[in-house]
């Protein structure tokens, strides 16, 4: 069997393979580590963390939809201090210290520019390898998506965070915009090291028997296989618009799906809600990507990134 190169480079950080977890679908890996081996992953992307604890939204917070789901968790998290003490400590202890260890990517959220900056500062001396900045969560009233839908605000916050961050920053883009490639370009010009997309698409579900919204937040973010074609198209558009790496996600359920995102231009990919359907899906995605490479005699996975134009 020939050597196959699966490793990819994101802003100077090498991932052993292109498969990561999508923020919010994997916690910090603690719960999943009982069912699978997180050392098989390119990176673990943690749930969004803010400066102080956030309570999140009321319940129901999730609803099943055709080949997908709506969520309105509302970025519940215990705050950066607990996160560093407990979650990062867990990852540090669990990740094997090999040549290319599984990388830690911390997803950051906030209500104001200052809050994002402060969280990023507190992460400076931790084991986080990369920071993913969530400016695209549709489920909180202040901050988050407001930064991701306005080019001026996006540019300003990217610049400020870049100045404060020790680690490279990945700006996570919202699909709830008219021109996502423009947003990617704005991030690149403001100093972002990479972009990731897509976050969830704002949606709604109504219970016609009860004449009520299903989610207590009324609206929620749509994810899962239902959104994959939209995500692939957006990754393609962004990859064509910027030189920095693009990380693709949205409905990935297999190695074949991951390959499709890479062909559209993604350097790495993240698996989100399908972790709920199959707790081992990320590991299986890596295995089936290798099988694809063998079937098509691909030496280096990087060859396929953006190969369809």
Which residues partner with 19 through β-bridges? 269
Buried b (16+ CB within 10 A) or exposed e, 197-208: bbbbbbbebeee
| Per-residue binding letters, 66-95, with ligand FMN (x by CB under 6 A) | -----x-x-x--------------------
Catalytic residue among 109, 137, 187, 238: 137
In this structure, the strands spanning 201-204 and 219-223 are antiparallel
What is the Cα–Cα distance from 65 to 40, expressed in whole angstroms? 30
**Residue nearer to other proteins on the CB measure, 63 or 177:** 63
| Per-residue binding letters, 3-42, with other proteins (x by CB under 8 A) | ---------------------xxxx--xxx-xx-------
Using left for φ > 0, alpha for ψ between -120 and 50, and beta otherwise, residue 191 falls in left
* Helices and strands counted in the chain (H then E): 10, 16
What is the Cα–Cα distance from 204 to 227, expressed in whole angstroms? 14
189 binds other proteins (CB under 8 A): no
Active site residue 187: no
For 83, which DSSP code?
Answer: I
Which residues partner with 164 through β-bridges? none
Q: Pick one of 11, 213, 279, 292: the residue that binds other proteins (CB under 8 A).
A: 279
CB of 306 to other proteins, least distance (A): 29
Q: Pick one of 50, 223, 282, 285: the residue that binds ligand FMN (CB under 6 A).
A: 223
Residue of this chain nearest to ligand FMN (CB atom): 24
**Residue nearer to other proteins on the CB measure, 68 or 203:** 68
Active-site positions read 137
């Amino acid at each position: 069997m020939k050597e196959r190169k699966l490793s990819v480079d994101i802003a100077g950080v090498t991932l052993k393979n292109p498969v990561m977890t999508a923020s919010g679908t994997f916690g910090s890996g603690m719960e999943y580590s009982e069912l699978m081996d997180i050392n098989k992953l390119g990176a673990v992307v943690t749930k969004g963390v803010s400066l102080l604890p956030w309570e999140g939204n009321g319940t129901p917070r999730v609803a099943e939809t055709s080949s997908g789901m709506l969520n309105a968790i509302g970025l519940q998290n215990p705050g950066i201090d607990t996160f560093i003490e407990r979650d990062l400590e867990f990852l540090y202890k669990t990740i094997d210290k090999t040549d290319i260890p599984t990388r830690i990517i911390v997803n950051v959220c906030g209500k104001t520019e200052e809050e994002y900056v402060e969280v990023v500062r507190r992460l400076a001396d931790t084991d986080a390898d990369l920071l993913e900045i969530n400016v695209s969560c549709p489920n909180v009233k202040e901050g988050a998506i407001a930064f991701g839908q306005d080019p001026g605000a996006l540019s300003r916050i990217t610049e400020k965070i870049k100045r404060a961050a020790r680690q490279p920053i990945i700006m996570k883009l919202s699909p709830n915009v008219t021109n996502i490639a423009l947003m990617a370009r704005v991030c690149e010009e403001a100093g972002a090291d990479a972009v990731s997309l897509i976050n969830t698409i704002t949606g709604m579900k109504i219970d016609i028997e009860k004449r009520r919204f299903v989610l207590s937040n009324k609206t929620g973010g749509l994810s899962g296989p239902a959104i994959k074609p939209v995500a692939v198209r957006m990754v393609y558009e962004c990859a064509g618009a910027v030189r920095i790496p693009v990380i693709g996600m949205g409905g990935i359920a297999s190695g074949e799906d991951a390959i499709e995102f890479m062909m559209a231009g993604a350097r790495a990919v993240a698996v989100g809600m399908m972790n709920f359907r199959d707790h081992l899906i990320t590991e299986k995605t890596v295995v089936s990507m290798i099988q694809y490479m063998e079937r098509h005699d691909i030496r280096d996975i990087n060859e396929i990134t953006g190969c369809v134009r």
